[in-house]
């Protein structure tokens, strides 16, 4: 098996981003939302979340939401 430093997975997400941001993390993990590139298609909203451990390992999550499913407040 090849030694890989990257893992990718995808799934549909059409709910509030706050649900992902509220996932509890240990004190040794930092959660950030780096600024991403502007999404050229206004139909979609793109967000990025990065969880980083003290040792430098990280887990990134890109969320692209179709605006037609966005909940109205």
Mean pLDDT, the chain cut into blocks of 10 residues (73 residues total):
64 80 92 73 78 89 72 52
Predicted local distance difference test score (pLDDT) of residue 30: 93
Predicted local distance difference test score (pLDDT) of residue 71: 56
3-state secondary structure the chain: CCCCCCCCCCCCCCCCCHHHHCCCCCCCEEEECCCCCCCCCCCEEEEEEEEEECCCCEEEEEEEEEHHHCCCC
């Amino acid at each position: 098996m090849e030694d890989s430093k990257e893992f990718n997975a995808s799934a549909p997400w059409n709910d509030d981003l706050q649900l992902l941001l509220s996932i509890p993390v240990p004190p040794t993990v930092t959660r950030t939302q780096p600024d991403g590139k502007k999404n050229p298609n206004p139909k979609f909203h793109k967000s990025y979340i990065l969880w980083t451990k003290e040792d430098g390992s990280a887990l990134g999550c890109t969320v692209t939401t179709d605006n037609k499913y966005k909940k109205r407040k």
